[in-house]
Structure 1
Amino acid sequence: KGAAIAVTDEHGELIAFLRTDGCRLPSINIAINKAFTAAREHTESVSIGQSSRVEDFPMTNFGDLRYTAWGGGVPIYHEGCVIGAVGVSGLPEEEDIMLAKMGADLID
């Protein structure tokens, strides 16, 4: 299986991207959107999704269709501040989350 890996700045704007062999095309935008969500909200994208479901707050209410509720978006912290985020897509959600966390830890 292939994966897409996106790195954004603190505003959720793309600064780096990698697509491995075998990555399905939809995973490209999903990885970017996961990183966007994590950077903008300063928390993991999976947490945004869980809160959205618990509070019955549709993701569309964020006002930007790039927000996503799937796991695999993780903010990058440096000295207590969010400086960006990593988004991974294309693998099972648990693996996306694990790899995004690893990437964020390596960057910090």
Structure 2
Amino acid sequence: MSVPNDASGSSSSNHNFSLLNICSKVTLDGTNYNDWMRNIKMALRFEDKEYVLDKELIEIDEEKATPEELAAYKKHYMDATKVACIMTWQCVAAMFMSTLK
């Protein structure tokens, strides 16, 4: 069964704001990795991006790829980039907060 997608192909800024809000609820401090990861996964599941944690992004030959393969690759690449930015932001914020203690 297919799930209808947003015609724009991306989440609204309200959803992105919610994603960052949810991720900010638990700040990684070195002792709470499981809680932090659970929060990250919950937020990513809400945004339909959780798959990037488990599914490897495999390079494709753009010359030989079908339009569907190319679209899937680009979506995966963009989703993986967003997830990496959010997780990096969380880690940097945690390191910064630890210097204030």
TM-score in terms of structure 2 length? 0.30
More helix by share: 2
Bigger radius of gyration among the two: 2
More strand by share: 1
